[in-house]
């Protein structure tokens, strides 16, 4: 019977499940090439690991890979119940703490290969991790769409390792108790973007939607709500989403290179961020904290009709 060993962690409340043993052999190509092989030949492993009954839409999975470049510490392919991710900020923080838990890395700098590029990370004391994300940018500013039941919504399309629509004109109550309304609103925004064929480059789907509002704590700059591709909300401030937001703030002249941006999530967890300018793009740096929550062996009983997950 096939078995897969995973380590679970959470970053600001958002869970990450890293496959550390028993995952598929995807060869020795780049992480982008291996992600294609994962998708085309082993997709049942994705659903088995993160979909119900073992997981749910909240989970982000990651397949730990040997890197192509021996100067890198590891390669990683992130995925969720809907598909595969280019990058994942909270997942990267979870991965670093997982590698430390396994005794595979010590505090210090480590490069990681992802399907969208190599990123630099620094493991610090107390489970803190700083990551320098892939270059991020705003593709389109002030895109206006009609969202049935909610009226006109204006936002920016931006890349932070995944595609985001950063809403600008709504002042919603970003409280956890308001989550059903926020989820319904952001799902309708995503549907409208699809109906109007508003996409990232090469027609790539904008699958993450972000709302912003005032921070609850005076020392922070903003609170967010992020709808993720599976349909749940990010419990963390969303590393790739905050990178996209930094790109929009920089493009609007609202945040200077090196200035601090403290991003609160809907549950109140925090990423401390800043960026460096790179022409029209920004190079975001984010710091967060993750904790190990479980070590398990996933068992796939051939008699179990849901061994590869409930396909939604
Ligand atoms: O932290 O980048 C992130 C992320 C993406 C989806 C959920 N979290």
CB 269 within 8 A of CB 236: yes
Range in 29-33, 237-241, 295-299, 308-312 the model is least confident about: 308-312
Mutate which of 85, 93, 131, 269 for ligand 1 pocket (most atoms within 8 A of beta carbon) = 85
Segment 293-297 shows an average pLDDT of 98
**The dihedral of CA 163, 12, 115, 43: what is its sign?**
negative
Cis peptide before 53 (omega within 30 of 0): yes
Segment 7-43, tens digit of pLDDT: 999 999 999 999 999 999 999 999 999 999 999 999 9
Banded pLDDT at 312 (limits 50, 70, 90):
low
Which atom of ligand 1 lies closest to the CA of 234?
A: 7
Category of 142 on φ-ψ map: left (φ > 0), alpha (ψ -120 to 50) or beta:
left
The pLDDT of residue 1 is above 90: no
Residue 15, ligand 1, Cβ within 6 A: no
Residue 88, ligand 1, Cβ within 6 A: yes
Q: Is 248 a catalytic residue?
A: no
Segment 136-195, tens digit of pLDDT: 999 999 999 999 998 999 999 999 999 999 999 999 999 999 999 999 999 999 999 999
* Cα separations in angstroms, 102 against 2, 8, 49, 295: 22, 12, 20, 10
Look at residues 195, 203, 197 and name the one whose alpha carbon lies nearest to residue 163. Answer: 203
Q: Which helix (H) or strand (E) holds 163?
A: strand 163-167
Name the β-bridge partners of 5: 21, 297
CB 294 within 8 A of CB 36: no
Task: Give pLDDT, residue 156.
Answer: 98
| Residues contacting 73, CB < 8 A, separation 6+ | 67, 99, 104, 105, 110, 111, 112
Query: Strand, helix or coil at 67?
Result: coil
List the domains of the chain with CATH numbers. Answer: 2-132+292-300 (3.10.310.10), 137-287 (3.10.310.10)
Segment 273-292 shows an average pLDDT of 98
Name the β-bridge partners of 49: none
The pLDDT of residue 222 is above 80: yes
Residue 234, ligand 1, Cβ within 6 A: yes
CB 89 within 8 A of CB 66: no
Q: Which helix (H) or strand (E) holds 96?
A: helix 89-101
Q: Among all chains, which residue has been given the structure tokens 């904008």?
A: 206
Q: Which of 65, 68, 166, 238 is catalytic?
A: 238
Q: Among all chains, which residue has been given the structure tokens 């793009």?
A: 281
Task: Give pLDDT, residue 311.
Answer: 74
Q: What is the mean pLDDT of the chain?
A: 97
| Residues contacting 103, CB < 8 A, separation 6+ | none
In 12-150, beta strands by DSSP E: 14-21, 60-65, 74-79, 108-114, 117-123, 128-132, 137-147
Query: Strand, helix or coil at 176?
Result: helix
Alpha carbon distance 234, 282 (integer Å): 23
The pLDDT of residue 302 is above 70: yes
Q: Is 65 a catalytic residue?
A: no
* Ligand 1 centroid from CA 89, angstroms: 5
Task: Give pLDDT, residue 2.
Answer: 84
Task: Give pLDDT, residue 79.
Answer: 98
Which atom of ligand 1 lies closest to the CA of 229?
A: 6
* Ligand 1 centroid from CA 86, angstroms: 10
Q: Which helix (H) or strand (E) holds 212?
A: strand 208-213
Look at residues 82, 76, 91, 131 and name the one whose alpha carbon lies nearest to residue 246. Answer: 131
Q: Which of 65, 68, 72, 88 is catalytic?
A: 88
């Amino acid at each position: 019977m096939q078995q897969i060993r995973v380590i679970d962690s959470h970053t600001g409340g958002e869970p990450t499940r890293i496959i550390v043993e028993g995952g598929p052999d995807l060869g020795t190509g780049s992480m982008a090439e291996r992600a294609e092989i994962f998708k085309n030949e082993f997709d049942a492993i994705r659903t088995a690991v993160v979909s119900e009954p073992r997981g749910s839409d909240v989970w982000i999975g990651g397949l730990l890979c040997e890197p192509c470049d021996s100067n890198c510490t590891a390669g990683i392919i992130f995925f969720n119940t809907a598909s595969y991710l280019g990058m994942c900020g909270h997942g990267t923080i979870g991965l670093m703490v997982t590698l430390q838990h396994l005794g595979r890395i010590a505090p210090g700098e480590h490069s990681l290969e992802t399907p969208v590029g190599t990123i630099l990370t620094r493991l610090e004391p107390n489970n803190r991790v700083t990551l320098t994300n892939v270059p991020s940018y705003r593709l389109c500013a002030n895109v206006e769409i009609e969202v049935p039941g909610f009226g006109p919504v204006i936002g920016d399309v931006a890349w932070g390792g995944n595609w985001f629509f950063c809403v600008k004109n709504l002042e919603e109550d970003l409280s956890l108790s308001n989550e059903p309304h926020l989820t319904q609103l952001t799902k309708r925004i995503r549907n409208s973007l699809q109906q109007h064929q508003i996409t990232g480059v090469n027609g790539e789907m904008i699958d993450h939607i972000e709302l912003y509002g005032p921070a609850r704590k005076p020392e922070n700059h903003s609170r967010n709500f992020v709808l993720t591709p599976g349909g749940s909300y990010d419990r963390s401030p969303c590393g790739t989403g905050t990178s996209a937001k930094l790109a929009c703030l920089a493009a609007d002249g609202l945040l200077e290179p090196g200035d601090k941006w403290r991003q609160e999530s809907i549950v109140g967890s925090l990423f401390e961020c800043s960026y460096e300018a790179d022409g029209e793009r920004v190079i975001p740096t984010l710091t967060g904290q993750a904790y190990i929550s479980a070590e398990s062996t996933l068992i796939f009983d051939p008699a179990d009709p849901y061994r590869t997950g409930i396909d939604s």
